[in-house]
Structure 1
Amino acid sequence: MITTLFKSSVATQRYTFFVLLLLLGFICIRAEESKCSSPKEFYCPLCGGVETTDCISCEGYIFSDQQYGICYDRKLFHVRGNELGDSDNHYPFLWFDIAASVIWFLVAGIAVSCGVGGGGIYVPMGMILLRFPPKPSAGLSQACIFGAGIGGLFINGRKRHPDRHIRDTKGLPSEKGLGKIVSYERNMTHSEIEADRKSYLQGGDGQRKFYTRPVIDYDLLLLMAPMELAGAVFGVTVQRVLPDWLFLSFAVVVLGFTCYKTYKKFKNLHRLEKEHLQEIARTTVRHENEQNKDPNVVAIDDQSSDGSVSVIHEQLWPAVLSFDENDSEMEDFSRHPDAKLDRDDPRELESRRAFLEEDSIQFPKYKIASLILLWVGLSIIYLLKGDKGAPSLIGLTCEKPGYYALVACQFLWTFGFAIVFAYRAVRRTEARKAVNYPFNENDILWDSKSLRDFSLAGFGGGFVAGVIGISSGYFTGPFMVYYGIHPSVATATCATKMMFTSSSVALLFILAGLLPWDYALYFFGVCICGAIFGKTVVDYYVKKTGMASILVGVLACVIGLSTTSIIAILFYNLAKANWCLDGFKQFCTAGHGSLNANCPARF
């Protein structure tokens, strides 16, 4: 079932990519920074008042009004017109901003709880409700995803891995995964699980205990985060030269595909809920029968050992991991494996325990510091390079070779980080294999194939995030689950990774002058609060009722409506332009070539 779904997904993605490639080739041939005939001109208040065909080049007044033909600025909770460019008070946005605050607050909580960033909602709602142009709306979306990611990290950072009873017994070689241990407790009753755990603790050398880990996979994060940041840098660079119609077309294709995947997620989750409720009913009946036979039988909790709903909230993904009940590997490991593992090299056992203790650290300082260094280093390069929204700290412009040298440094920095931590991940896996480390059945055993697959997935997700402003988690999350990662680990790791990527992209948009600072900071804060409040409430609701599918269904409907709205915006804009398709913009003009830079010096 998983293979079929994934192959269908891959085929759809390849078809979409092929269509977009043809579209890009067509427009490259047709246009060399071409402009439609008789374009509409807008009044820009810079330089004492000039005419421009694109308000993005009117620094500080990037919003355009088709009806009045002017470029205007946008202030948060604005109730009066601007003195420059809006003397007639056309744009009081107070109530739009208030309504958006409520919607963004709610969306942040639902999106983070569903394991996505919410960009599929923020982008179209920014254009429709806030009346942002397409590209500033994408930038605002990234600031919101960043805020929601911090809210999610506040909760996920304290959570532990779903398997809280990892043992120090050695992993056994198998064809399906060298050293991987299939759950000891699969297909066991509650009393059998308790007896097996007690037997394990009493066996061995008397120093046995259970181990666990953080729910965030920091090794996976250290590999994918730099690749996503590299993809995001490339995506924002490409996005700056795209005409609005092509940007919107790309957004429609990607959001439409996202809606389809979210709907599939809803169907899978709804099926899981039904199966889970049926299993609870059967367990209740069996438990009542056992109690009638033996009144001392301990009640079977319908929740998992850590007190959370066992499966439903964790598997918010389109792929569902399953194992064959007749699998010989599972049979080998699931019942009292100590009979096969009694003879153990004491030195290997000591090394395994050291590795298990290392992996159980909730906040690994070195790995967290490496992630912060990655982000800070990239941000310093951004500031040195500068852009239209924030001049270079060293006086560079896009006409100078140093500017492009720093563009190259962005990729060298991110790719360098990815290479270093890819090497460390492989060495880490090999060192653990050497002492028969008991890898969890959902662990990644890093090798050249897994490094290649996750690197490409990370770069592709970052590219999409940079181009249209949605979360990379829409793509990397399902990919992680397909690869066998536990859904709750995939959700938490994606949310953390998403925070680094979106913050970097939002900073790029601000530096490019495509996003007002006040809106970015305000909605960033709104989404932090919304994510913390919403995830807490939603987690409580799901834990109490087990009904999470309704949230994913609502999310799919909202994304579908948003996609439909973007289609309407696209055709409306094309109709106003007499169905003329603009070509690509020049990179330097799209970046530093603002009208303000060409004004004569003023004293």
Structure 2
Amino acid sequence: MTRSNFEHTLAQSYTFFFLILHLLRFSCVYAEEARCSSANEFYCPLCGGVQVSDCTACEGYIFSDQKYEICYDRKLFNVKSNQVGDPENHYPYLWFDIAASIIWFLVAGVAVSCGVGGGGIYVPMGMILLRFPPKPSAGLSQACIFGAGIGGLIINGRKRHPDRHIRDTKGLPSESCPGKIVPHERNMTHLEIEADRKLYLQGGDGRRRFYTRPVIDYDLVLFMAPMELAGAVLGVTIQRLLPDWLFLSFAAVVLGFTCYKTFIKFKNLHRLEKEHNEEIANKNKVSQEISAAVQEEEMKGHSSKMDHVCQQDDDSSVSEIHEELWPAVLSYDDDDSEIEDISRHPDPKVIPDDSRELETRRQLLQEDSVQLPKRKIAFLLLLWVGLSVIFLLKGDKGAISLVGITCQDPVYYVLVACQFLWTIGFGLVFARKIIKQTDARKVVNYPYNETDVLWDLKSVRDFAFAGFGGGFIAGVIGISSGYFTGPFMVYYGIHPSVATATCATKMMFTSSSVALLFVLSGLLPWEYALYFFLVCLCGAVFGKTVVDAYVKKTGMASILVGVLACVIGLSTMSIIVILFVNLAKANWCVDGFKEFCPVGNSGLSANCPANTIEAS
């Protein structure tokens, strides 16, 4: 993707973002005036007769049955009781759990292959199929994303970059991408590529080799992850105020636009890859035909010479035969000498190099080829530990604090400020680090690929905006930011395999602490969290292996972008279904804004007796 096209797409995103803000502004005016009576509230006998609409507010219970007006708990693979008159007979979820296991397994494999968490599918399906309330469904989604992220890391952590033949030479500078080089093997046939690689290895000072890198861009993870989390903090804060219908409508519009742009990108990439593969196939076919014709001519010439020799008298001397075959031997030797001369000839694509620059460049290439860079992984763990501590102390995404901190406590707002300082500060410090790192590599003519990111102030600004904006929208909607940052990376020109692997790694770190918080705060049954964690882990390993094998076999990396567009489209449809189901339950009445920090007894802090009913 050229720079002008990218800037045009970015301008469209800016325009769409501000349009959404204006629509949100007018919707807010309407929501402020709207007040609906809650048709879903009932007096729960297990909660001391307090009127509730969400049984998560009733200690010891998570699930609510509107039909029977009761709060209850349930276990994994619950079987219907055969006892007559058993009050728990209307809670048979065995087949629901089995069906969900199959769907979650497949979704995890598809989602992690295209670099998204799948929360846009897990949350609606958890509410529709598993009959989970919104908050436990969101918690289960985080556990599933965590499991799928680990499964993806098992595969991606061992994979190498798609370009496995990076050379230590300068190469030809790219006119369309300043600071990068033109790929050495562009528009070459397989035979030409093999010959060119042999020439490269035989030339130089005898120390030439091919380099590669991990498929996960750890620099991109270390910069974008904290920026996304900073945006998510703001998004989650605003989501506390929005009524369900408003943020679901917002989610449907944003995801619909993202799906459309991603699908357009998939069509363009697929067309270019198809044309490129057809061109290479035609060149290979012509090359094979020429090679076969040359071999056929050589065989005919050799056969005619042998026939001529056989026609000599039987008493001809051996020396005469040698004289007859000598021109062919000389011809072979001449061809061999020409090959040797060509092998000694310098590669025409290699620009004369400075020995000091070459040595430094080799050291940098060797440093970048480490599969698991310990220093960068240590930075990621440091970021994760800091965020996990703040999450557990403050609570997040509907889960309560483990130490009882509420929004009425001043410490709560101190922790919110700490989240911003920790994430934004971490991102800015690492941005400065990667800019200096890029400048040092430019000095020695580092062979940047056309799909690499050249970190400067402009690219930092673009990725910071994308990360913070994607995190903000994800926080408001309640799904993974990979739905937005993944397409952004592809639009920026990053290779689809690198973009998906990087997004999957980011999501694993951000979802793990939130999933742990939901389980520890009692908003998610631990057996469901553990079981679906393992289901999604296995599904991610299986799906990622199958998709990667297909991409390697066909060379069509655009399939990853196409799968991403399909996942976003399914998420959009799922959210629309949830929106209309909720509106139907509320008799098509739209409610107003919620209180940011409700005070008083409104049924949200009911004291419940001991758990006496448990679906078993």
TM over 0.5: yes
Q: Contact between 2:402 and 2:521, CA under 8 Å: does it hold in 1?
A: no
Q: State the 1:365 CA deviation.
A: 0.1
Whole-Å Cα distance in 2 between the matches of residues 556 and 364 of structure 1? Answer: 32
Provide the residue aligned with 1:518 in structure 2: 527
Cα deviation code 1:191-215 (max 9, x no counterpart): 4333333333333333222221111
Amino acid in structure 2 at the alignment position of 1:278: E
Question: So what's the TM-score if we normalise by structure 1?
Answer: 0.81
Would the alpha carbon gap of residues 485 and 19 (structure 1) be closer, same or farther in structure 2, given more than 3 Å must change?
A: closer
Structure 2 counterpart SS, 1:379? helix
Task: List aligned pairs for 1:358-437, cutoff 5 A.
Answer: 358-386=367-395, 389-393=399-403, 395-437=404-446
Whole-Å Cα distance in 2 between the matches of residues 94 and 512 of structure 1? Answer: 25
Whole-Å Cα distance in 2 between the matches of residues 255 and 571 of structure 1? Answer: 17
Cα deviation code 1:390-418 (max 9, x no counterpart): 5434x533222112101111111111110
Would the alpha carbon gap of residues 525 and 268 (structure 1) be closer, same or farther in structure 2, given more than 3 Å must change?
A: farther
Given candidates 528, 531, 537, the residue that maps to 2:546 is 537
Provide the residue aligned with 1:440 in structure 2: 449
Cα deviation code 1:3-29 (max 9, x no counterpart): 797577556645653454244334544
Provide the residue aligned with 2:126 in structure 1: 126
Structure 2 counterpart SS, 1:181? coil
Q: Contact between 1:139 and 1:469, CA under 8 Å: does it hold in 2?
A: no
Identical aligned residues as a percent:
74
Would the alpha carbon gap of residues 253 and 355 (structure 1) be closer, same or farther in structure 2, given more than 3 Å must change?
A: same
Would the alpha carbon gap of residues 131 and 224 (structure 1) be closer, same or farther in structure 2, given more than 3 Å must change?
A: same
Q: Contact between 2:235 and 2:476, CA under 8 Å: does it hold in 1?
A: yes
Provide the residue aligned with 1:152 in structure 2: 152
Q: Contact between 1:227 and 1:418, CA under 8 Å: does it hold in 2?
A: yes
Given candidates 454, 464, 470, the residue that maps to 1:455 is 464
Would the alpha carbon gap of residues 238 and 349 (structure 1) be closer, same or farther in structure 2, given more than 3 Å must change?
A: same
Q: Contact between 1:231 and 1:463, CA under 8 Å: does it hold in 2?
A: yes
Task: List aligned pairs for 1:79-478, cutoff 5 A.
Answer: 79=79, 87-170=87-170, 176-264=176-264, 267-268=267-268, 270-272=270-272, 274-275=274-275, 278-279=278-279, 281-295=281-295, 336-338=348-350, 340-342=351-353, 344=354, 346-386=355-395, 389-393=399-403, 395-478=404-487
Provide the residue aligned with 2:323 in structure 1: none
Structure 2 counterpart SS, 1:397? coil
Q: Contact between 1:236 and 1:505, CA under 8 Å: does it hold in 2?
A: no
Q: State the 1:531 CA deviation.
A: 0.8
Question: Quick check: 451-460 or 565-574, which moved more?
Answer: 565-574
Q: Contact between 1:224 and 1:455, CA under 8 Å: does it hold in 2?
A: yes
Q: Contact between 1:134 and 1:244, CA under 8 Å: does it hold in 2?
A: no
Would the alpha carbon gap of residues 30 and 63 (structure 1) be closer, same or farther in structure 2, given more than 3 Å must change?
A: farther
Amino acid in structure 2 at the alignment position of 1:336: P
**Unaligned runs of at least 5 residues, structure 1:** 297-333
Provide the residue aligned with 1:25 in structure 2: 25
Whole-Å Cα distance in 2 between the matches of residues 112 and 27 of structure 1? Answer: 34
Q: Contact between 1:156 and 1:216, CA under 8 Å: does it hold in 2?
A: yes
Q: State the 1:560 CA deviation.
A: 4.3
Cα deviation code 1:335-370 (max 9, x no counterpart): 7233x314x1x3322222211111111110000011
Q: Contact between 2:187 and 2:280, CA under 8 Å: does it hold in 1?
A: no
Structure 1 counterpart SS, 2:240? helix
**How many residue pairs are counted as aligned between the two chains?**
557
Q: State the 1:222 CA deviation.
A: 0.9
Whole-Å Cα distance in 2 between the matches of residues 94 and 434 of structure 1? Answer: 63
Q: Contact between 1:43 and 1:50, CA under 8 Å: does it hold in 2?
A: yes
Q: State the 1:45 CA deviation.
A: 5.0
Question: For the pair shown, which has the larger CA radius of gyration, 1 or 2?
Answer: 2
Whole-Å Cα distance in 2 between the matches of residues 545 and 491 of structure 1? Answer: 18
Would the alpha carbon gap of residues 381 and 349 (structure 1) be closer, same or farther in structure 2, given more than 3 Å must change?
A: same
Would the alpha carbon gap of residues 193 and 94 (structure 1) be closer, same or farther in structure 2, given more than 3 Å must change?
A: same
Q: State the 1:104 CA deviation.
A: 0.8
Would the alpha carbon gap of residues 404 and 148 (structure 1) be closer, same or farther in structure 2, given more than 3 Å must change?
A: same
Whole-Å Cα distance in 1 between the matches of residues 232 and 96 of structure 2? Answer: 30
Q: Contact between 1:213 and 1:359, CA under 8 Å: does it hold in 2?
A: yes
Amino acid in structure 2 at the alignment position of 1:341: P
**Unaligned runs of at least 5 residues, structure 2:** 297-345, 611-616
Q: State the 1:598 CA deviation.
A: 5.5
Question: So what's the TM-score if we normalise by structure 2?
Answer: 0.80
Q: Contact between 1:171 and 1:439, CA under 8 Å: does it hold in 2?
A: no
Would the alpha carbon gap of residues 487 and 386 (structure 1) be closer, same or farther in structure 2, given more than 3 Å must change?
A: closer
Cα deviation code 1:360-387 (max 9, x no counterpart): 1111000001101101111011222247
Amino acid in structure 1 at the alignment position of 2:447: P
Whole-Å Cα distance in 2 between the matches of residues 508 and 8 of structure 1? Answer: 41
Q: Contact between 2:44 and 2:69, CA under 8 Å: does it hold in 1?
A: no
Provide the residue aligned with 1:313 in structure 2: none
Whole-Å Cα distance in 1 between the matches of residues 39 and 415 of structure 2? Answer: 35
Whole-Å Cα distance in 2 between the matches of residues 100 and 350 of structure 1? Answer: 56
Amino acid in structure 1 at the alignment position of 2:596: F
Q: State the 1:105 CA deviation.
A: 0.4
Would the alpha carbon gap of residues 508 and 88 (structure 1) be closer, same or farther in structure 2, given more than 3 Å must change?
A: closer
Q: State the 1:40 CA deviation.
A: 4.0
Q: State the 1:164 CA deviation.
A: 1.9
Given candidates 497, 500, 506, the residue that maps to 1:491 is 500
Would the alpha carbon gap of residues 601 and 116 (structure 1) be closer, same or farther in structure 2, given more than 3 Å must change?
A: closer
Amino acid in structure 2 at the alignment position of 1:462: G
Whole-Å Cα distance in 2 between the matches of residues 97 and 128 of structure 1? Answer: 12
Whole-Å Cα distance in 2 between the matches of residues 288 and 120 of structure 1? Answer: 49
Q: State the 1:258 CA deviation.
A: 4.1
Whole-Å Cα distance in 2 between the matches of residues 407 and 555 of structure 1? Answer: 32
Cα deviation code 1:294-346 (max 9, x no counterpart): 449xxxxxxxxxxxxxxxxxxxxxxxxxxxxxxxxxxxxx97233x314x1x3
Q: State the 1:143 CA deviation.
A: 2.6
Q: Contact between 1:141 and 1:469, CA under 8 Å: does it hold in 2?
A: no
Given candidates 566, 574, 579, the residue that maps to 1:570 is 579
Whole-Å Cα distance in 2 between the matches of residues 38 and 146 of structure 1? Answer: 34
Amino acid in structure 1 at the alignment position of 2:405: L
Would the alpha carbon gap of residues 543 and 228 (structure 1) be closer, same or farther in structure 2, given more than 3 Å must change?
A: same
Q: State the 1:535 CA deviation.
A: 1.8
Amino acid in structure 1 at the alignment position of 2:109: G
Cα deviation code 1:242-263 (max 9, x no counterpart): 3221232123223323443454
Whole-Å Cα distance in 2 between the matches of residues 204 and 293 of structure 1? Answer: 34
